């Protein structure tokens, strides 16, 4: 059973009883959490990860594999029970070193995430919310889907920010330091696949936007 934490993420067990727990390891297949009491193997639990009292970050079902009491601390290993696709995509990103509460950041509508021309020090992951992308004062895109990275181009190319990104709604993001993200990419190929899919989608969207602009000129 893994005892070494890769970060701590407060969560709540909604069933079979309401308990506050701390997730210390999370992947797309399983997790380890610290609990105030043990659970029998094969017990089914429902986990809700929250930010504060009223914001749900993610929710999923799991089955207990084992529980172990070590020096007064109970650690439970559990296997995720076929999470829905949207949750699975999110869990692919919320793994290992990236699972750290200090990276989570609430932003208000109108807040700028970063400005065009700034030095790139973080890559951002959208957990909740909608954003607008402006370049040279002109709106070029809206990011309305959750579970997306933003700022990945500057990070990958080592260039200043190519656009300004502003929140359209009250939102929740994860600001991941570039070195942490790079380490996670090297250790988790699935993250690289998700990022490649995102880049391909962004390229297709940019090509369509350019074609429409040329058509109207």
What's 120's domain CATH number? 2.60.120.10
Please report whether residue 92 resides in a domain. Answer: yes
Q: What is the CATH number of the domain that holds 45?
A: 2.40.10.220
Give the list of residues 6+ apart from residue 210 with CB closer than 8 angstroms, or none.
Answer: none
- Residue 87 resides in a domain: yes
- 3 in a structural domain: no
User: For residue 79, is it left (φ>0), alpha (ψ between -120 and 50) or beta?
Assistant: beta
The structure's pTM equals 0.56
Q: Which of 73, 98, 123 is the last residue of a domain?
A: 98
174-197 in b/e form (b: 16+ CB < 10 A) is bbbebebbeebbeebeebeebbee
Q: Residue 109 sits in which domain range?
A: 104-215
Residue 17 shares a structural domain with residue 79: yes
- Regarding whether 92 and 111 lie in a shared domain, the answer is no
- Candidates 42, 75, 48; CA nearest to 61 is 48
Tens place of pLDDT for every residue, the chain, 217 residues?
Answer: 433 334 577 789 999 989 999 888 877 678 899 999 999 999 999 998 876 666 677 788 999 999 998 877 899 999 988 655 555 555 544 544 454 556 778 888 999 999 999 998 888 888 778 899 999 989 988 887 655 778 877 877 888 999 999 999 888 788 888 887 777 777 766 667 766 776 777 667 666 666 666 666 6
Residue 2 lies in a domain: no
Tokens linked to 3 = 């005892």
Q: Report the number of distinct structural domains present in the chain.
A: 2
């Amino acid at each position: 059973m893994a005892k070494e934490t890769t970060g701590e993420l407060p969560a709540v067990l909604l069933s079979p009883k309401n308990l506050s727990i701390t997730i210390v390891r999370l992947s797309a297949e399983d997790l380890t959490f610290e609990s105030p009491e043990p659970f029998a193997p094969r017990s089914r639990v429902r986990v809700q990860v929250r930010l504060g009292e009223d914001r749900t970050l993610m929710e999923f079902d799991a089955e207990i594999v084992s529980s172990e009491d070590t020096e007064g601390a109970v650690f439970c290993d559990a296997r995720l029970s076929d999470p829905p696709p949207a949750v699975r995509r999110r869990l692919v990103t919320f793994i290992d070193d990236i699972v750290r509460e200090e990276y989570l950041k609430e932003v208000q509508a109108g807040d700028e995430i970063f400005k065009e021309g700034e030095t790139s020090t973080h890559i951002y992951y959208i957990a909740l919310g909608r954003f607008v992308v402006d370049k040279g004062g002109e709106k070029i895109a809206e990011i309305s889907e959750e579970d997306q990275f933003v700022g990945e181009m500057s990070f990958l190319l080592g260039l200043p920010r190519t656009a300004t990104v502003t929140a359209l709604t009250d939102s929740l993001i994860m600001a991941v330091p570039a070195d942490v993200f790079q380490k996670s990419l090297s250790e988790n190929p699935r993250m690289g696949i998700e990022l490649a899919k995102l880049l391909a989608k962004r390229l297709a969207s940019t090509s369509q936007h350019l074609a429409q602009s040329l058509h109207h000129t």
